[in-house]
Copies of this chain bind each other. A is one copy, B any other.
Amino acid sequence: MSLNEYHMKAARIVNVNEPLQIQELQTPKPKGSQVLIKVQSSGVCHSDVHVWEGYYEGIGGQPLKTTDRGVKYPLTPGHEIAGIVDSLGEQVEGFSKNEKVLVYPWIGEGMCPACRIGEENLCDKPRSLGIYNDGGYAEYVLVPNYKYLVKIGDDDMDTDISAPLSCAGLTAYGAVKNANLTPDDNVVIVGTGGLGLMSIQLVRAVTGARIIAMDIDDKKLQVAKKEGADIIVNSKKEDPIKAVIELTDKLGADAVIDFVNATKSVEADMQFLRRRAKLVLVGLFGGELRLSLVNMPTRAYKIIGSYTGSLQDMVELVSLAKRGVIRPVVSNRFKLDQAGEALQMLKDGKIIGRGVINP
């Protein structure tokens, strides 16, 4: 253990929008079904930036405060956590010290209808690590139950590659599942950053649908093409609405997965939906949409909010990654005391791919 046996370092948000502080905290001691994980990799996610800034963008430019949603500061952020088992509560079964694991962070209270069917990510009163409880920007993290751990084996996967599966990968996968695609569908992927690229891999791995990737950056679109997009559309250079309508025999897209989810992108989405289409909203950019109500029944649209994924989804993702069916990519690595810098770089759009902190 670090410093001395009872203390660990953590990079914390003490007040919203102020620089992160490196603090020394008591290292938790696992009881009952709890497990203490020594963090090896903690992904840096765009939603960490929102938690740091303290708000999302609501209707009419009004901020939606994180504190109104139950987030409490000081907080150790970080929900993409992979590491090794350090110590175990007395009721833990099936795990032993030093095993390499990925942590499922979207923990629920356990008693609501969503939790009862294993969709803790959609719990009425969530207790997610790194958001409502201290997370992975630290040397150690306490996981409340061993059932949230998924073994990633010794040889097959390193922790840097694995960590982003628990949010970036899972969010992409949850969105692809919500789109419920068939091989005859045309799906538009809006935004080809880390999540968009992962979703392209996943659409190919588990649906067989035809992929139209859309972005405003040609370089990203070239990567999207390489990852499996059938067609790419630069929505800055050509009219996205015309483009999709053309590419779909004038019928429109069967499904759209929008990883941006800002006013402008969703306004365009609504114009190239086929009758019966599913519009899956994933990104946290926010803002508002002026939705035509009568079009909802007559066009039979479904607008679906998609938030991360279930523990079972994460197990499926790990299975795909272990066999090389999907290939997550890490682009930037940071030390724990660079956590604030990492968030700033992400906010400034300077991380292409996924950043990971190695405490």
Contacts and interface: CB of A to CB of B under 8 A. Distances in A.
Interface in A81-120: 89, 91, 93-94, 109-111, 113-119
Contacts of A113: 184, 254, 276, 312, 315
Given A261-B293, A266-B293, A303-B303, A184 B316 contact: yes
Given A297-B282, A298-B307, A290 B59 contact: yes
A1 interface: no
A111 B232 CA distance: 28
Interface string A263-296: 1001000000011100001111111111111111
Contacts of A116: 118, 147, 310-312, 315
A232 B92 CA distance: 36
A124 B294 contact: no
A288 B293 contact: yes
Nearest to A64: B294
A59 B300 contact: no
Nearest to A47: B298
A335 interface: no
A78 to B, nearest CB: 19
A110 B93 CA distance: 10
A285 B295 CA distance: 11
B59 A124 contact: no
Interface in A306-351: 306-307, 310-312, 315-317, 319-320, 323, 325
A25 interface: no
Contact of A297 (B283, B293, B295, B315): B283
A117 B114 contact: no
A281 B303 CA distance: 11
Interface string A198-215: 000000011110100000
B288 A290 contact: yes
Contact of A117 (B118, B207, B288): B118
A230 interface: yes
Nearest to A147: B110
A158 interface: no
A319 B184 contact: yes
Nearest to A266: B293
Contacts of A56: 294, 298
A304 interface: yes
A281 B305 contact: no
Given A31-B32, A124-B275, A300-B307, A293 B118 contact: no
B293 A281 contact: yes
Contacts of A73: none
Contact of A293 (B60, B286, B301): B286
A234 interface: no
Contact of A295 (B282, B302, B305, B325): B305
Contacts of A49: none
A213 to B, nearest CB: 15
A127 B124 CA distance: 28
10 contacts: A113-B184, A113-B276, A184-B312, A208-B320, A210-B323, A261-B297, A289-B290, A289-B291, A297-B306, A299-B307
Given A114-B276, A184-B319, A302-B303, 7 more contacts: A111-B147, A116-B310, A117-B312, A124-B251, A183-B320, A206-B208, A285-B294
